[in-house]
Structure 1
Amino acid sequence: MRTNDKTRFAGLIGLALGGCMLSAVATAAGTDAGPTTSNKLLLTGGVSQLEGAAGGGLTPWAVIGGYGTRDEIGANAFYTRVNLPDYHVDTAGAMVGLYNRVELSFARQRFDTEKVGAALGLGEGFTFRQDVVGVKVRLFGDVVLDQGSWLPQVSVGAQYKKNDQDGVVRFVGAKRSQGTDYYISATKLFLGQSLLVDGTVRFTKANQIGILGFGGDLNNSYKPEFEASVAYLLSRHWAIGAEYRQKPNNLGIAREDDWYDAFVAWAPSKHVSLTVAYADLGNIVIKDRQRGLYASVQVGF
């Protein structure tokens, strides 16, 4: 790993440890001042995915972010780093969950092409930046309370994405540098078996989640893509799992592969969580086998 990458990961771990300290202070303050604003079980609100929604690292879940129940408001802030052999991605953002019904989120993504940028004539370290504004609404079901029902929690959402490299993405064949994904998610928690399962269908035109724009010479219409997550709760504080995310192939110049990951999530309290994963993102532009470490820290209530 390069020196600057080590520095960034050291900063990420430092932020996680700092979050643990803040968590201890907040917990102590809550003991003196009365009840906190959260009654949800640990880890049932998910973590922050790459585009800012509550869920796994790669795909949203039907859960509403934060630990607020139907009479409460919850919120999270997060930072995520994905380190690949030829690229790296940094994402930071925040979300707010309103009364376990509506989630609003924002994420800013930074995709660094490193030496590949020079090979493509863009310059070494050329960077794409993308802003993602999301909204999610719970339609019915409750992932924790509906243990006696076969019905999952179901939510619908939208993510508006705007890329800052309009000229570049159009040059490689994309039709637009901005677009909106729409999705529907169903999440079921089998509390007795400590197992959470999610299935999501996303309607999208995005190339590499929008980093290379939207639509292209091969396809310029919305296509349904399937996403799935499974998580096993080892204890109140630890979970392991895996994710899968289908991707569309819109650009003749840049084949896309589906994404996979295997993760471990640790939540010492409701105020902080740390997720580490091994992610396989396949082919990205001219480089195959883009596999590497995903790390994310989330703080909130």
Structure 2
Amino acid sequence: MMNKCLYGGGFLLTCALALTPPAAADQGARLLATGGTSSLEGSGGGGIVPWATLSSYAGEGQFGATVNLSEVSVDDFRLSVQGASLSWNNRIELSYAEQTFDLSTIGGELSQSIVGAKVRLAGDLIYGGLPQISLGLQHKKNNDYELPAAVGSQDDSGTDWYVSAAKAWLDGPFHRTWVANLTLRSSKANQLGLLGFGGDKEDGREWLAEASVAAFINRYWAVGVEYRQKPDNLSFAQEQDWKDLFVAYFPNKHVSVVGAYTDLGSIAGLDDQTGWYLSVQAAF
């Protein structure tokens, strides 16, 4: 068992196994990588897209937990995320994330807190013909609202609702395991909510599409792409869709590491924000 994990840049994340519910110790109920990783908003899934899968490897009658650290660095901005989740029975997931957005070029800092919940409604990722279908929410509270209000944001908090469907094929094309996820999100969050919610241009909710596809090279390594549609509520700057190309490593059921090339488009009027993403998760 791993009792700690080291994250680049000197961050040390101490994982208290003694506090983990006893049922979580048996991680054999689900296959390797079926817990996914942690998204930027704390929910289990990919990097920028929540999946229908639930975090950790908790099976029937079991509890599971994860802790994670993520960094996104693009030309003019840097996003740092610390998060944790708790899941039960492969049915319910609760998550929490703290985001800090460093405005490297403009100057200053924005932050927000995100509380999430997800429930598996039907289906299974691997078994049966029906994909795993989950319903989730993410309640977000902007903690530094002066700047978002100045550029036209209408609210300092909001709740995203989403429905996701995910399916894995163990012997897919090229005799590889493939995983696909489609998420539909109802939201009016500007840049995840870091620039508030709603705007002077548009203030209503919008249904947005998000998708992920990954192929496993072998049992431990996967490569894939993600795409996330974004709203465009603020007149001072266009908000563009996000995409990434990622590599994920699952050495065992307690650790996962994801690295990605990211293209976040235009942010706060600064175009072509491209760079890297790195996330480390520990699961119990």
Same fold (TM over 0.5): yes
Q: For residue 229 of structure 1, what is the aligned residue in structure 2? A: 212
Q: How many pairs were matched up?
A: 268
User: Which 4+ stretches in 1 moved above 4 angstroms?
Assistant: none
Which one of 185, 188, 200 corresponds to residue 205 of structure 1?
A: 188
| 2:156 is aligned with 1:166 | no
Report what 1:153 is aligned to.
Answer: 132
Deviations 1:167-222 (A, max 9, x none): 22111100001000000000011112201010000000000010000000111111
- The answer on whether the counterparts of 1:38 and 1:74 sit within 8 Å (CA) in structure 2 is no
Q: How does 1:29-178 map to 2 (within 5 A)?
A: 36-117=26-107, 126-146=108-128, 149=129, 151-178=130-157
Question: How far off is 1:234 after superposition?
Answer: 1.4
Greater shift, 163-172 or 228-237, is seen at: 163-172
- Which amino acid in structure 2 is aligned with residue 157 of structure 1? G
1:77-96 per-residue CA deviation (whole Å, 9 max, x = no partner) reads 00000011111000001001
Q: Find the aligned partners of 1:201 and 1:82 in 2 and give their Cα distance.
A: 23
Residue number in structure 1 paired with 2:164: 185
Distance 1:112 1:192 in 2: 43
* Shift of residue 38, structure 1, vs aligned partner: 3.7
3-state DSSP class of the match of 1:209?
A: helix
Partner of 1:239: 222
Match of 1:296 in 2: 279
Structure-2 residue corresponding to 1:286 = 269
Q: Any conservation in 2 of the 1:102–1:135 contact (CA below 8 Å)?
A: yes
**Secondary structure in structure 2 of the residue aligned to 1:278:** strand
Could you tell me the TM-score, scaled by structure 2's length? 0.90
Match of 2:243 in 1: 260
**C-alpha displacement at 1:11, in angstroms?**
2.9
Does the CA contact (< 8 Å) of 2:67 and 2:84 recur in 1?
yes
The answer as to whether partners of 1:38 and 1:72 remain within 8 angstroms in 2 is no
Identity, % of aligned pairs? 44
Specify the code of the residue in structure 2 equivalent to 1:185.
S
Give the aligned residue type for 1:11: G
AA of the residue aligned to 2:85: M
Larger Rg, first or second structure (1 or 2): 1
Equivalent position amino acid for 1:178 in 2: S
What RMSD over aligned residues (CA atoms) do the two structures have, in Å? 1.9
Whose strand proportion is higher, 1 or 2?
2
Instruction: Flag structure 1 segments of 5+ consecutive residues without an equivalent.
Output: 1-7, 24-29, 118-125
Alpha-carbon separation, structure 1, partners of 2:28 and 2:208: 34
Q: Tell whether the 8 Å contact from 2:27 to 2:253 is kept in structure 1 after alignment.
A: no
Q: Which residue of 1 aligns with 2:4?
A: none
Instruction: Name the structure with the higher helix share.
Output: 1
- Cα displacement (A) at 1:286: 2.2
Q: Is the 8 A contact 2:152 2:199 kept in 1?
A: yes
| Cα distance in 2, alignment partners of residues 93 and 167 from structure 1 | 25
The letter for the 1-side match of 2:50 is P
Question: 1:44, CA displacement in angstroms?
Answer: 1.2
Maintained 8 Å contact 2:43/2:95 = yes
**Alpha-carbon contact 2:38-2:47 (below 8 Å) kept:** yes
Counterpart of 2:150, as a letter, is: F
**1:248 and 2:231 aligned:** yes
TM (norm. structure 1) is 0.85
Give, in whole Å, the separation in 2 of the partners of 1:69 and 1:144.
14
